[in-house]
Amino acid sequence: MTRRIRSIQPMIDRRKDERIPTHRRGVIKYGPAAREMACTVDDLTVAGAGLHVGTTFGLPKVFRLTVDGEIETRHCRVIWTDGKKVGVSFE
Break the chain down into helix, strand, coil percent, rounded to 5. 0, 55, 45
Phi/psi at 78 (nearest 5 deg)?
Answer: -70, 130
Amino acid (1-letter code) at residue 11: M
Residue 19's pLDDT is what? 83
Residue 9's pLDDT is what? 47
Q: pLDDT (tens digit, 9 = 90+) per residue, 42-60?
A: 999 999 999 999 999 999 9
Residue 69's pLDDT is what? 93
* pTM for the full predicted model: 0.80
Q: Rounded mean pLDDT of 16-24?
A: 86
Residue ranges of domains in the chain, CATH in brackets:
20-90 (2.40.10.220)
Q: Which range (14-18, 30-34, 51-55) has the least confidence?
A: 14-18
